[in-house]
Amino acid sequence: MQISTTACVLAMMTLTTTSAWALSDAGKKWLDKIDAITAEFPVDGVPWKKRVATDNQAHTQVQRAKSRLSALKSYLKNVPKGDRGDARYKKSAAYIVALEKRIPEWAAFIPKRRGIRMAAEKLRLQWVSASAGVENVSRWVREIETNGAPRLPFGLKELGETWRSETARLDAFIRDCTGRFAEVRTPPTSGATLIDKVNCKAAPKVRKLLPPHLLKAAESHLAGLGGPLEASIKRAKSDGEITGSRLETLMDPGSYIARQRALVTPLMKAGGKTPADKQFVPIREASKRFKALGAKVATRKWLKGLKSASGKAKKELVESAKGLGKAYGKPLKLRRALVEAKWSETGDASGGGDRTRSFRGKRAMVVMQAAGEPFCRGYRGNVDQEYDDKKKRWLPVEGEVSGGSSVALVPCR
């Protein structure tokens, strides 16, 4: 019978694919033992968990690999000669050769690994510092995305300083997020890279999402400047009293407006605007109304019961008044130092035993005038004296005045 060439080829292919080497039980047993070890020591990687293992743990794994290598060679040697043509045997023999080559490489890598980890930790700490430099603006963006609005600081000065300082670092931080920080993990045992962190995600959105809220905060601030000044004028007319800062704003609105303009300009520019003169009109109008009152706001009610101070009391009050500072860049001028006519005595049992320490005091006021003001400012204070029970006499008078938050508006004479 004649057999075709095609049939012969098919027969040979069938023979080749179906005639797998028949392993003996002994050969299978030893090759199974080898396979169990290859899973623990992959020659295409390292025998430790890359981010978790300590250097000591990595060193231990290398020593175990050396020990296993001896066992592997013994197992391979025990495979019967009749099984050594099998593909599994050849694969195991190749693995043992590769493992013997890899073990010295693993041992040499451990010191390098330590340096790599130290470099990564150094870079991580640099990211922590850089991230802290844009934390506020990034947090505000996250709040906008979550709540619709950021929780901005109460003080506009603090807001402006934060915006200037953090946005100056923003572009460099964004570049680093996708550059030198992109593959650094924090903490080192984590699988998450720094690019996954919230600040790296929020920072690129700062200049788009935040400026409208900065503009709103600045405009709201300007809109609210007139109301407190009107309340201060009302208080001055009815009570003859006003805070020192509001008094200077009403008497010198130009300086106050310049400070407010400088405060809001960076925030408004971020939102594409600049402060308009009309936004400061309420301040100028309030100033005009207050100045029109002139000396009428001064009242003598704050001077009731006071007389001119003399002696040690006057000296103490005058000396203390030097610390009241300046108004409109010029020193305040002393007009009068006043004290109550009578002492008010109090007892204090803090002396211990039967001894009672006695004190007496008087209300005091220094009357000062600032350049250009048609009235005087009354700064409250006190004069005190302690009784020396042992010597049976009063000790020298001590007196002081305080700038406080409010000043009395009084006649200069």
Q: What would the mean pLDDT of 284-294 be, rounded to a whole number?
A: 96
For residue 353, name the pLDDT band (cuts at 50, 70, 90): very low
Residue 326's DSSP bridge partners are: 331
| Pairs from 188-191 (Cβ < 8 Å, separation ≥ 24) | 188/51, 188/117, 188/120, 188/121, 188/124, 189/51, 189/52, 190/51, 191/51
Q: What would the mean pLDDT of 128-140 be, rounded to a whole number?
A: 91
Whether the per-residue pLDDT at 302 is higher than 60: the answer is yes
Contacts of 36 (CB under 8 A, 6+ apart): none
- Does residue 187 have a cis bond before it (omega within 30 degrees)? yes
For residue 12, name the pLDDT band (cuts at 50, 70, 90): very low
Q: What would the mean pLDDT of 284-304 be, rounded to a whole number?
A: 95
Polymer length in residues for the chain: 413
Would you call 339 exposed, middle or buried from its count of C-beta atoms within 10 A (0-12, 13-18, 19+)?
buried
* pLDDT (tens digit per residue) in 76-107: 999 999 999 999 999 999 999 999 999 998 88
Please give the Cα distance from 409 to 374 (Å, whole number). 10
Whether the per-residue pLDDT at 364 is higher than 70: the answer is yes
Answer whether 255's CB lies under 8 Å from 308's CB: no
- pLDDT at site 193: 54
The single-letter code of the amino acid at 78 is N
Q: What would the mean pLDDT of 225-233 be, rounded to a whole number?
A: 96
* pLDDT (tens digit per residue) in 55-71: 788 788 888 888 889 99
Q: What is the mean pLDDT of the chain?
A: 85
Contacts of 38 (CB under 8 A, 6+ apart): 92, 95
Contacts of 168 (CB under 8 A, 6+ apart): none
pTM: 0.67
